[in-house]
Amino acid sequence: MDIPRIPLGDWVETFINWVIDVLGGFFDVVSTIFSGFYDGVAWLLATPPFWAIILVIAAIGWLAKGWKLAVGAIVGLLLIAVLDQWENAMDTLALTIVAVVIALIIAIPLGIWAAKSQTVSTIVRPILDFLQTMPAFVYLIPAIFLFGVGVVPGMVATILFAVAPGVRLTELGIRGVDPEVVEAGNAFGATSGRILRQIQLPLAMPSIMAGVNQVIMLALSMAVIASMVGGPGLGKDIIQALSRTDIALGFEAGLAVVIIAMILDRITSGFGNAKRGRKRATSATANDEAPDAGAETVVVHAG
């Protein structure tokens, strides 16, 4: 007995066509905003001399993790420049920055909302599971239909692919805050907004920064794949190397991606560890000054 086939793919195609017909103007506006945002960041990275960008990134690395990361960033970025991959690397970095910023604008508020509402968490969880388990290439198909070929569909696919860990780790961090600390804040008459800003977010910051790190890493990996739909950057050379079996070009472009990923990973993890260290130092100082007054310790945390 033959099993009847459900034309699920046809239904999805029909739905996408309906969305294009009804919301075509909206997607045109989104495309204009995203492409403008990308053009601005790409111009900011491409206009100054390469050594100026290297110094800025090295300074950020110094602030995040010290001189070793600064020196490593300088060496790695100089290697990208001498491999003649600087322009492509800045295009990839611009796409990653824009996608990460938009993904975090979505992920952090949504994670906070999910942490405060079990209903929202229940609704969001399967959506995040779907986004995380869907193969990366599949995101490109609806993005092409909605936005055409170019940088925008790659950016949208990157955002969808990278947003999930930001939501999950933000929710995890907020839920992981000690309830007694929150109750003490309520006892002192703090509003829910002030408790969120001055108690929950600072204490959840290590988890949130871990989410930011994961969003950046996923966005960078997807930004390379986005070149398959016309996205700029190092992915173009990697795809070209695959089509030509050009080992040299593929290695150079792949090495540039690895260098950027390592620098971004160390910077975000460095800032996350710095926040964790400041939080522990504050806790230790508060406990030393008021070992028998837990409520006063909370006030120190709340600032």
**Residuewise pLDDT in 10s, the chain (303 residues):** 567 788 887 887 888 788 888 887 888 888 888 889 999 999 999 889 999 999 999 999 999 888 889 999 999 999 999 988 899 899 999 999 999 999 999 999 999 999 988 999 999 999 998 888 887 777 787 788 778 778 888 888 889 888 999 999 999 999 888 888 888 888 888 788 888 888 888 898 888 988 998 999 888 888 778 887 777 888 888 888 888 888 888 888 889 989 998 998 888 888 877 655 555 544 444 444 444 434 334 444 444
Q: Which residue has the tokens 């890493």?
A: 217
The span from the CA of 166 to the CA of 209, in Å, is 9
**CA end-to-end distance (rounded Å), the chain:** 70
pLDDT at 274: 61
* Residue 293 backbone phi and psi in degrees, to 5: -130, 85
Tokens matching residue 290: 């008021």
Tokens matching residue 40: 């601005």
The answer to whether 88 touches 50, Cβ cutoff 8 Å, is no
CATH of domain 8-302: 1.10.3720.10
Query: How many other C-beta atoms are found inside a 10 Å radius of the C-beta of residue 130?
Result: 11
* Residue 240 backbone phi and psi in degrees, to 5: -65, -40
Residue 190's region, left for phi above 0, alpha for psi from -120 to 50, else beta, is: beta
The span from the CA of 262 to the CA of 243, in Å, is 27
The answer to whether 162 touches 196, Cβ cutoff 8 Å, is no
Q: How many residues does the chain have?
A: 303
